[in-house]
């Protein structure tokens, strides 16, 4: 996704339920770089008590990052003196870490495995480590491998020969999708007919029969999947059997997780899946005072974020600072130690 294709949600609107949040976000979308107030300046690295504009890198409009990012933008604009914030639609985790590294975004929602690769200069970031730190763990992303009921897909092995989306190029979904396929012994370039679609586009393709299955890594519930499940055509495929392999190969940030029964219409049983923690990250150059203010905002206004999306229920001040795969920002450490 090019810069001109990204959309923004400026902070300052009232918070509301998740679907209203997405609707408001879409209604307020502007192409990146257009509609900025005259005289506005990006947030300076030393601006803990200064003035500036904060750009929040999120994800696609059909996922969880975008509405939560819009809610966070509202909270920043309303509660941190001298700052306004804007949520940007992006391709999510890989894209977001690159935006943090380039300074084009100030705050980003990122999957833990992608963040670990970025700060370590491995995987997609080979030879180009990103200077970033975490404000804290937000909630768990659940690997939601969805298939149409007509496809006959019940296991990852059944994906062989099928039309499968691995998520948008440059997304955390793509990384986890590739790793699960490889753990299952499938070559993503030869054993499947590979597509690269966001969650909303994946649902559209499943509906019109041009796709058999698609990976999505997101919080619960994901709006686009709620809508698809209501048609009675959605099947959730378990991926939990690969957690051990992924932990052994990549790291302990892969979690043995479960999508509880009845999260989606027609889903009568819990589904064992691969989980990955989400973190909120900033560049290490951000002022420590601003880091502390942003971290405090997450927990002091948790109820407001839950009103935007129920995934925020997982915010836990007692454990959010326990990030084993990257450094916790000094300002965030000050908050957690207070």
| Element housing 216 (H / E) | strand 213-218
Per-residue model confidence as pLDDT tens digits over 106-117: 999 999 999 999
Nearest to 264 by CA among 149, 112, 93, 168: 149
Q: Which residues contact 75 (CB under 8 A, 6 or more apart)?
A: 11, 15, 297, 301, 304, 305
SS3 175: helix
Using the predicted structure, report yes or no on whether residue 20 has a pLDDT greater than 50.
no
pLDDT at 33: 34
Per-residue model confidence as pLDDT tens digits over 72-105: 999 999 999 999 999 999 988 999 999 999 999 9
Per-residue model confidence as pLDDT tens digits over 220-272: 999 899 999 999 999 999 999 999 999 999 998 999 999 999 999 999 999 99
pLDDT at 14: 37
CATH 3.40.190.10 fits 141-276, yes or no: yes
Written as six digits, the tokens of 185 are 């012994």
pLDDT at 203: 96
Taking the domains of the chain in order of start, what are their residue ranges?
3-138+282-337, 141-276
> pLDDT confidence of 10, banded at 50, 70, 90?
low
Separation between Cα atoms, residue 177 and residue 258, nearest integer Å: 17
Per-residue model confidence as pLDDT tens digits over 29-74: 333 333 333 333 445 443 344 569 999 999 988 888 999 999 999 9
Using the predicted structure, report yes or no on whether residue 24 has a pLDDT greater than 60.
no
Per-residue model confidence as pLDDT tens digits over 170-205: 788 999 999 999 999 999 999 999 999 999 999 999
DSSP 8-state secondary structure symbol assigned to residue 37: P
Report the CATH architecture of 3-138+282-337.
3-Layer(aba) Sandwich (3.40)
SS3 159: helix
DSSP states of 151-169 as a string? G---SGGGGTTSEEE--ST
Same fold, 3-138+282-337 and 141-276: yes
Q: Rounded to two decimals, what is the model's pTM?
A: 0.80
8 Å CB contact between 56 and 73: yes
State the first-to-last Cα distance of the chain, in angstroms, to the nearest integer.
Answer: 40
Q: Which residue has the tokens 């997982």?
A: 314
10 Å CB burial of residue 199 (0-12, 13-18, 19+) is: buried
Q: Sign of the CA dihedral 171, 176, 182, 184? A: negative
User: What average pLDDT does this structure show over 297-304?
Assistant: 98
8 Å CB contact between 56 and 72: yes
Q: Output 9 or 125, whichever has higher pLDDT.
A: 125
Per-residue model confidence as pLDDT tens digits over 157-168: 999 999 999 999
């Amino acid at each position: 996704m090019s810069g001109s294709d990204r959309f923004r949600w400026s902070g300052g609107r009232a918070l509301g339920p998740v679907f209203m949040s997405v609707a408001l976000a879409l209604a307020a979308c502007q192409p990146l770089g257009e509609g900025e107030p005259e005289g506005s300046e990006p947030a300076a690295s030393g601006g803990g008590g200064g003035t500036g504009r904060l750009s929040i890198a999120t994800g696609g409009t059909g996922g969880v990052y975008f509405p939560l990012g819009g809610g966070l933008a509202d909270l920043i604009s309303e509660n941190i003196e001298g700052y306004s914030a804007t949520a940007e639609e992006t391709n999510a985790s890989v894209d977001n870490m690159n935006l943090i590294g380039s300074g084009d975004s100030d705050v980003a929602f990122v999957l833990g495995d992608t963040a670990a690769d970025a700060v370590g200069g491995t995987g997609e970031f080979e030879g180009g480590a990103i200077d970033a730190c975490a404000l804290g763990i937000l909630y768990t992303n659940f690997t939601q491998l969805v298939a149409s009921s007509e496809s006959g897909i019940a296991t990852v092995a059944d994906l062989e020969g099928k039309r499968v989306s691995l998520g948008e190029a440059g997304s955390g979904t793509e990384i986890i999708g590739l790793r699960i396929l490889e753990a299952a012994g499938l070559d993503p370039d030869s054993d499947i007919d590979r597509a690269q679609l966001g969650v909303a586009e994946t649902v559209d393709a499943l509906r019109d029969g041009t796709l058999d299955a698609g990976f999505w890594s997101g919080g619960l519930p994901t709006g686009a999947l709620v809508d698809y499940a209501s048609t009675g055509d959605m099947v959730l495929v378990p991926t939990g059997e690969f957690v051990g392999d992924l932990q052994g190969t990549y790291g302990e940030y892969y979690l043995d997780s479960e999508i509880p029964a009845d999260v989606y219409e027609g889903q009568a049983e819990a589904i064992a899946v691969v989980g990955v923690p989400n973190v909120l990250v900033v560049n290490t150059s951000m002022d420590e005072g601003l880091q502390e203010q942003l971290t405090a905002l997450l927990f002091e206004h948790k109820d407001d974020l839950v009103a935007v999306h129920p995934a925020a229920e997982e915010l836990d001040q007692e454990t959010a600072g326990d990030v084993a795969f990257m450094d916790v920002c000094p300002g965030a450490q000050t908050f957690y130690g207070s």
